[in-house]
Structure 1
Amino acid sequence: MTAEDFVRAHTIVATAPLVPEIRLHLASEITPIWQASEEWLKARNIEPPFWAFAWPGGQATARLLLDEPARVAGKRVLDFAAGCGIAAIAAARSGAAMVEAAEIDPLALAAVRLNAALAGVTVATPEGDVVGSPCRWDVILAGDVCYEAPMTAHILPWLRAMAASGAEVLLADPGRAYLPREGLAPISRHAVPTTLELEDRTLREVTLFRLLP
């Protein structure tokens, strides 16, 4: 079974509450897809199926870009830790000149490709960890990435370096524990409906920040 076949087999086509314009391959329940992913996890050493859900940070980022397309129109955009790719797709629909979705999970990359095809847009899906790469983007989107200390320690210095190189780094956070306390300029706030299967509440307040170098 290919990665694309796996995604198709274990998801339905649905929309996220805050972004009804974009159809996505999403899991209808958390437990079945978590169990179905176990063999992939064992065989390929990949992450749990975070890509099967439209997380609050990604939804808020997508909403901002669809409402304010000038933020990315004509620009080179990276959706970092893209998950299902909702922010990348919103960037492409908002007129970005080039969009890449970065993920270390091959199932996530497959989901992004399928979701981009549903939306009729082009999103590149390079393989491997982009952390450490030189800056080749005008805008970098990072939604819901500060949920673990090791993850934050790995990515934050690089994202700040990208901001110092001239990229606008937009960080969307719904109150995760490891969000940095300094070097953030708030842009907008969004109330994102969620589910108790994924979160500890039914509504998450997401703040979009510009990350300062």
Structure 2
Amino acid sequence: MQRLETSPRREADARRLAAWRRRLERRRQVLDLPITIPGAARAYSIAVPANPDAVLDELMAPDPHMPYWATPWASGLALAELLLVRRGALTGRRALELGCGLGITATAAAEVGLDVTASDCFAEALAYTGYNALRNAGQSVHTLLVDWRTPEGRIALAGPREVDLVLAADVLYEAEDIPPLLELLSRLLHQGSQVWLAEPGRATSTRFVDEARAVWTVETEEVERVWPAAAGYAKVRLHTITPR
């Protein structure tokens, strides 16, 4: 009976993924990047733009400070690994990711059983996230096109759907990013919820964490090593932020 139940779903997922891939490839050439993350059931095959520099050029044109989503970064890989390590306490809880990029963190979140909403201010990033999560975790994630740096974006993210875990990897670039993120987290955090923030040690991130410590409890650990997917040798700081 189980085979009869699961086979149609797998076939439907395969058709959906094939159509999804064609949509991604209509815009640009796509490559599959193998990424091994400790704790994952298998190595991920992450779809990425074949020419990420072209994506960067497009992003730099309208906004020189816009984050760069089209390549894996150490912070996102570290946050994905943390999810896999802590998987036992996460199944069934609701998670919101800010700035999902390629969807590596969202894929790990889906694998451990979280009900994931992945947000980004680029529709193309959301398309890659949805595809990569379904392909590698076998689960769909909700996607939300929104910029948390805008008042409208913060209102949308802090809507009626309460979340248990906020995920953010390498989202702080400029000093002006700090006040909107603090405001958003003040709306999202409630007793029993947490924020997991991964960042590479920029001055902006350090200032944000200092300000967050004045309001919430912040526990920090550092991981320094060579990361997969050509992310290179890097130090990542992982912060767990909890209401007092």
TM over 0.5: yes
Counterpart residue identity of residue 85, structure 1? G
Please, what TM-score do these two structures have when normalized by structure 1? 0.79
Counterpart residue identity of residue 55, structure 2? I
Query: Does the residue aligned with 1:125 lie in a helix, a strand or coil?
Result: strand
CA distance in 1, matches of 2:78, 2:235: 9
Taking only the aligned residue pairs, the percentage that are identical comes to: 27
Q: Does 1:185 align with 2:219?
A: yes
Name 1:211's counterpart in structure 2.
241
Instruction: Between 122-131 and 100-109, report the one with greater CA deviation.
Output: 122-131
Name 1:123's counterpart in structure 2.
141
Choose which of 134, 144, 161 in structure 1 pairs with 2:170: 144
Query: Does the residue aligned with 2:240 lie in a helix, a strand or coil?
Result: strand
CA distance in 2, matches of 1:48, 1:211: 25
Name 2:125's counterpart in structure 1.
108
Q: Does 1:15 align with 2:37?
A: no
CA distance in 2, matches of 1:5, 1:116: 14
Name 2:78's counterpart in structure 1.
60
Q: For the Cα contact (< 8 Å) 2:196–2:239, is it kept in 1?
A: yes
Counterpart residue identity of residue 131, structure 1? R
Tell me the matched-pair count: 203
Choose which of 60, 64, 74 in structure 1 pairs with 2:92: 74
CA distance in 1, matches of 2:209, 2:56: 33
CA distance in 2, matches of 1:92, 1:54: 18
Name 2:56's counterpart in structure 1.
34
Name 1:175's counterpart in structure 2.
201
In our comparison, the structure showing a higher alpha carbon Rg is 2
Q: CA deviation at 1:168?
A: 0.9
CA distance in 2, matches of 1:195, 1:61: 15
CA distance in 2, matches of 1:118, 1:8: 19
Instruction: Between 19-28 and 63-72, report the one with greater CA deviation.
Output: 19-28
Q: For the Cα contact (< 8 Å) 1:17–1:193, is it kept in 2?
A: no
Q: Which of the pair is proportionally richer in helix?
A: 2
Q: Does 1:51 align with 2:85?
A: no
CA distance in 2, matches of 1:11, 1:151: 31
Q: Segments of 4+ in structure 1 off by > 6 A?
A: none
CA distance in 1, matches of 2:83, 2:204: 25
Which digits, 9 at most, give the CA deviation of each residue in 1:63-102, with x for residues without a partner? Answer: 1111221242121111111111111110110122x11101
Choose which of 47, 54, 66 in structure 2 pairs with 1:25: 47
Pick closer, same or farther for the CA change 1:56–1:30 going to 2, 3 Å.
Answer: same
CA distance in 2, matches of 1:210, 1:142: 11
Q: CA deviation at 1:194?
A: 7.2
Counterpart residue identity of residue 56, structure 2? W
Q: CA deviation at 1:145?
A: 1.2
Structure 2 runs not aligned, ≥5 long: 1-19, 148-152
* C-alpha RMSD of matched pairs (Å): 3.3
Instruction: Between 104-113 and 187-196, report the one with greater CA deviation.
Output: 187-196
CA distance in 1, matches of 2:28, 2:127: 12
Counterpart residue identity of residue 169, structure 2? G
Pick closer, same or farther for the CA change 1:33–1:128 going to 2, 3 Å.
Answer: closer
Q: For the Cα contact (< 8 Å) 1:148–1:177, is it kept in 2?
A: no
Structure 1 runs not aligned, ≥5 long: none
